[in-house]
């Protein structure tokens, strides 16, 4: 019987600039008497990493450009917010209704460049971490130092999708594991050679963790136990980004 | 401590036309001594439902149209396969490289209309169930009769995405539960009113289950225990389909 557990980590509490998220996680595991094991995956909500890394902007300090003011009128949003989004964006992919879909400097295509107003305090916004692979590696390193255990780490955020309603959580940073499981060329039980069998397992792990996190429940870290990760020292979220030349929907 | 378990159901075995998937699931639960509980979610791979419902086509019996032959040359695929895909499609959304993205008669936007050659035997293809909400309701009804328990049921398939590499499993049918969790209008811990808090939980549950299913492991049913589903008698996968008029990527 295959079985996977998704375990919410309690008591991380409010995270402040300069905090070590890795230390907060190790402390919370100790309080919860949860001994991390080799092959566990830790999914960490982007928000607490952005707070720890100081990736917060007070909208009152932002001076909107002419372009931001124009887009703000078109989309019925605050010009200061649009200015922040444009600063995080490589290009605007689509606008329509109140939606603004951009490509971030990291290469993510998502609404509002991942800039988020929830759970950060009024009149503030949280930006995505500058390099969430690095953030994930730092957490992984801290866990290795404290516990001697080799875990995979995923930094997650909630992204909308084309064609379907609602968000699902996906990986925006990865450390210590392969984010995709590629079974192309292997054969199924009938001898058919699999052609499309590339599963975005880091995204699926992030989505699974969201079921425990929720949007308002204050559970920013989930331990996933029992999933057979493929250990990969140099694993990166970049492996999940489809090259523009191969993308039919830009 | 919030905790969710993903439990693979063993020994479903090969499914044949006319089988009752609900009965197969109940039998497997009994053999595994897994007592289903109210609020459990069962995620069932589309493939076994398609087999039970006879949604299989032998490619040798298909006569390709002129359009199918032309697309087959363009995309370097079998004309018979293209003919089957076109028959399952309301419209072709994009073609490019070897990819063919369509809108199915159900309203799903996905590659190849969900027509799949893996795990079905050589020279055969599996179509999506005609109405996977109904398939899910039948499974739910059988479980209720046999065990008296109210469960949620999700029929899942692996879909590619725009912009990101690899597939994630999503819901193609739903019964007994709300497929989205809508927290818009509620306030976060700082008093900020959530604006974008619509989570596609049925898709996240499907993705979580895929981590247990795998592509070649023969685990077509996963029981998810501990997730707080919102019971909704008339829940439907249609709630997950973004109306064309609100979609920026068609």
Q: What is the CA radius of gyration of chain A?
A: 19
Q: Is the pLDDT of residue A98 over 90?
A: no
| Chain B CB contacts of A160 below 8 Å | 196
Q: Are A218 and A47 in contact (CB under 8 A)?
A: no
pLDDT band at A167 (very low <50, low <70, confident <90, very high): very high
Determine the pLDDT at residue B189: 75
Determine the pLDDT at residue A220: 96
Cβ–Cβ below 8 Å for A188 and B162: no
- The answer to whether B5 contacts chain A (CB < 8 Å) is yes
Closest CA to A221 of A82, A73, A58, A15: A15
What gap in Å lies between CA A125 and CA A117, rounded to an integer?
5
Q: Which 3-state string (H, E, C) describes chain B? A: CCEEEEEECCCCCCCCCCCCHHHHHHHHHHHCCCCCCCCCEEEEEHHHHHHHCCCEEEHHHCCCCHHHHHHHHHHCCCHHHHHHHHHCEEEEEEEECCEEEEEECCCCEEEHHHCECCCCCCCEEECCCCCHHHHHHHHHHHHHHHHCCCCEEEEEEEECCCCECCEEEEEEEEECECCCEECCCCECCCCCECCCCEECHHHHHHHHHHHHHCCCCCCCEEEEECCCCCECCCCCHHHHECCHHHCCCC
The domain made up of A34-53+133-237 has a fold known as 60s Ribosomal Protein L30; Chain: A; (3.30.1330)
Q: pLDDT tens across B84-105, in order?
A: 999 999 999 999 888 899 999 9
Q: pLDDT tens across A189-215, in order?
A: 777 788 778 999 999 999 999 999 987
pLDDT band at B162 (very low <50, low <70, confident <90, very high): very high
What gap in Å lies between CA B181 and CA A210, rounded to an integer?
12
Give the mean pLDDT of B231-246.
Answer: 95
Q: Is the pLDDT of residue B118 over 90?
A: no
pLDDT band at B12 (very low <50, low <70, confident <90, very high): very high
Phi then psi for B184, rounded to 5 degrees?
Answer: -60, 140
CATH classification number, B5-48+132-241, choose in 3.30.300.30, 3.40.47.10, 3.30.990.10, 3.30.1330.100 = 3.30.1330.100
Cβ–Cβ below 8 Å for A183 and B101: no
Residue B174 pairs in a beta bridge with B154
- The answer to whether B186 contacts chain A (CB < 8 Å) is yes
Cβ–Cβ below 8 Å for A162 and B165: no
pLDDT band at B185 (very low <50, low <70, confident <90, very high): confident
Chain A's closest residue to B159, CA to CA, is A199
Q: Is the pLDDT of residue A61 over 80?
A: yes
Of B4, B200, B210, nearest to A166 by CB-CB distance is B200
Q: Are B202 and B236 in contact (CB under 8 A)?
A: no
What gap in Å lies between CA B215 and CA A185, rounded to an integer?
12
Q: Are B211 and B217 in contact (CB under 8 A)?
A: no
Give the mean pLDDT of B182-194.
Answer: 82
Give the mean pLDDT of A67-95.
Answer: 96
Q: What is the CA radius of gyration of chain B?
A: 19
- Chain B (74-133) residues lying within 8 Å, Cβ to Cβ, of chain A: 94, 96-97, 99, 101, 108-109, 111, 117-122
Percentage of chain A beyond pLDDT 70 is 99
Of A4, A190, A205, nearest to B121 by CB-CB distance is A190
Q: In chain A, what is the straight-line distance between the N-terminal and C-terminal CA atoms, in Å?
A: 42
Give the mean pLDDT of B151-179.
Answer: 97
**SS3 category, A241:** strand
What gap in Å lies between CA A47 and CA A129, rounded to an integer?
9
Cβ–Cβ below 8 Å for B203 and A207: yes
Q: Is the pLDDT of residue A236 over 90?
A: yes
| Pure H helices in chain A | 21-31, 46-52, 66-75, 79-87, 132-147, 201-213
Measure B29 CA to nearest chain A CA, in Å: 11
| Chain A CB contacts of B8 below 8 Å | 1-3
Give the mean pLDDT of A224-229.
Answer: 96
Determine the pLDDT at residue B98: 87
Q: Is the pLDDT of residue A121 over 90?
A: no
Q: Are A180 and A240 in contact (CB under 8 A)?
A: yes
Cα distances (angstroms) measured from residue A63 to each of A59, A89, A91, A105, A117: 9, 17, 20, 21, 18
How many Cα neighbours within 13 Å face the side chain of A161?
Answer: 27
Write down the domain spans for chain B: 5-48+132-241, 57-125
Chain B's closest residue to A246, CA to CA, is B97
> ipTM of this predicted complex?
0.96
Task: Name the superfamily (CATH) of residues B57-125.
Answer: CofE-like domain (3.90.1660.10)
Determine the pLDDT at residue B140: 98
Percentage of chain B beyond pLDDT 70 is 99
Q: What is the mean pLDDT of chain A?
A: 94
| Chain B CB contacts of A33 below 8 Å | none
Provide long-range contacts, Cβ within 8 A and 24+ apart, for B33-36.
Answer: B34/B7, B34/B9, B34/B223, B35/B147, B36/B143, B36/B147, B36/B149, B36/B151, B36/B223
Measure B172 CA to nearest chain A CA, in Å: 11
């Amino acid at each position: 019987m295959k079985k996977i557990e998704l375990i919410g980590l309690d008591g991380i509490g409010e995270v402040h600039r300069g905090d070590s998220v890795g230390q907060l996680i190790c402390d919370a595991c100790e309080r919860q008497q949860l001994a991390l094991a080799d092959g566990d995956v830790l999914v960490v909500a982007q928000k607490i990493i952005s707070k720890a890394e100081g990736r917060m902007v007070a909208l009152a300090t932002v001076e909107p450009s002419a372009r931001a003011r124009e887009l703000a009128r078109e989309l019925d949003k605050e010009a200061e917010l649009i200015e922040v989004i444009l600063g995080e964006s490589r290009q605007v992919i689509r606008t329509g209704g109140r939606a603004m879909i951009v490509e971030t400097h990291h290469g993510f295509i998502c609404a509002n460049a991942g800039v988020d107003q929830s759970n950060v305090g009024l009149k503030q916004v949280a930006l995505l971490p500058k390099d969430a692979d690095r953030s994930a590696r730092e957490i992984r390193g801290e866990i290795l130092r404290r516990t001697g255990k080799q875990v995979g780490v995923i930094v997650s955020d909630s992204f909308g999708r084309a064609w379907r309603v609602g968000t699902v959580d996906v990986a925006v940073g990865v450390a210590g594991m392969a984010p995709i499981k590629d079974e192309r060329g292997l054969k199924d039980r009938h001898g058919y050679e699999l052609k499309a069998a590339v599963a975005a397992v880091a995204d699926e792990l992030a989505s699974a963790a969201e079921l425990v996190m929720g949007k308002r429940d204050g559970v920013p870290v989930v331990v996933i136990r029992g999933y057979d990760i493929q250990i990969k020292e140099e694993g990166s979220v970049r492996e999940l980004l489809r090259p523009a030349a191969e993308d039919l929907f830009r």
